[in-house]
Structure 1
């Protein structure tokens, strides 16, 4: 069982805290013939897949190695331009290594802000009055659980599909938030959470939940 990450959103939908606990590294390596079966483009100094998916290589994955040589900002460690190497037919067959890119801070803020209108839309679409909104969102390889407090602050935990007892974990995180963030006289509900004690106790709680089970935290 794996706990991937924790997000805390303010009442207005802003990201006020985020912690990556256990993000798996996704890498795929494959030997290609000429021409390439996927389309690659340089974006933000990284070479990424923009079209074509196969063998675990998906749109958005970035190129991290060519024939065992690592890439840095679109160039190989030996100084060669990666796109020029890929365009030269004499370099084929060629071994390419791809990895799923890590989210930047701005991307995490953007994704958190996108959840807010989805949550509100779910409340409006629900046939039941006073709907609690999105509590569980399940995909093919992860699950997102959300708990909204009376003040409108939302706690989100991303886990694998086998993780159970997330409701208990969410309430435990809320208790830590109340104990170490809200009791700070200089903190307000819309401010980012910057509290070392909260960080330490959250990490300890997540590690204990994975090791001993959520019922033992």
Structure 2
């Protein structure tokens, strides 16, 4: 699986990092990447809302049952469940020209990789391993940087260098 590009979006859908790892797709302008980031964020949000409403409609009989389940979750965990999980919403797009994989962290950060197309199912498992390694790099080189502010563009030279080494 050849990785073409990596995008990182903040929880509001803003593009905070973009890196073209290898050529193979048409070049996009900075404005095109911003539009792409907003569109992917919107599609993910709509997809997660749709999947939640479909599962709620199928599994629950009435609103009282839903309220009692939510209240018991709050009482047992001490807090409401975080809606930012990667079990719903947009997870992958597969086309003849590229595959796009999306991973949302608990904090709402979205990692997106654009790869070469492949017919086997192992790509999804491989993408999860890539996301794990990217998240470790993000934690080590971005979040531990005392000069980095959350939701701001990532300008870390060490992060860039290690991301490029990851895909050699």
CA drift at 1:185: 1.4
The structure whose residues are more often strand, as a share, is 1
**Pairwise CA RMSD:** 1.6
Query: How many residues were matched structurally?
Result: 132
Within-5 A mapping of 1:1-217: 1-24=1-24, 100=26, 102-126=27-51, 127-128=54-55, 131-162=87-118, 164=123, 165-207=126-168
Distance 2:115 2:24 in 1: 11
CA drift at 1:189: 2.0
For residue 91 of structure 1, what is the aligned residue in structure 2? none
Distance 1:192 1:202 in 2: 16
Distance 1:135 1:110 in 2: 19
CA drift at 1:107: 1.1
CA drift at 1:188: 2.1
Distance 2:167 2:109 in 1: 20
For residue 82 of structure 1, what is the aligned residue in structure 2? none
Higher relative contact order (CA 8 A, sep 6+): 2
Partner-residue secondary structure (3-state), 1:111: helix
Q: TM-score, normalised by structure 1?
A: 0.57
* Structure 2 residue ranges without an equivalent (≥5): 57-82
Query: Whose Rg is larger?
Result: 1
